[in-house]
Amino acid sequence: MLSRRHAPDTEDTGIDLAPMLDFVMNLLIFFIITTSFVKEAGITVTRAQAETAEHQESGNILVAIRPNGDIWMDKRQVALSEIRGLIERLHIERPDDTVVLIADRDSQTGVLTKVMDQVKLGGVKDVSIATAPGKG
């Protein structure tokens, strides 16, 4: 007698892709959410008023300058010498980011100028200064 191979009644010949698609969708959602975070300065300052202030979309990187000259970025105080490195790193990660400098109206313009120089040396050319809208 010849023996025959018995094939099972139901054969699974395909690969179930549903778990992989769920995993890919979760990754996609995760990356979309994490790329939209804004680096906040971490402090509140009183902005100077400007009659010619224009409303622009919010920048992605915020740098705040307090009246005593303290510089805040990403919710922590940083030294002037650290700004260029931090901006370079953030600019490499997301080259389309813009920087908004939020200087207190009582802060010194010399500190603002030095911070702006460090930001531009860090590679970001689109730098704005936040002001409060004027009364007129």
Residue 126: its pLDDT value, please? 84
Q: What pTM value is reported for the model?
A: 0.59
Domains of the chain: 38-133 (3.30.420.270)
Q: Would you tell me how many other CB atoms lie within 10 Å of the CB of residue 71?
A: 24
**Residue type for position 54:** E
Report which DSSP code applies to 48. P
Residue 16: its pLDDT value, please? 80
Residue 79: its pLDDT value, please? 93
Residue 85: its pLDDT value, please? 93
What lies within 8 Å, CB to CB, of 66 at 6+ separation is 43, 45, 72, 104, 107
Residue 62: its pLDDT value, please? 86
Residue 95: its pLDDT value, please? 83
Where the chain has pLDDT below 50, the residues are: none
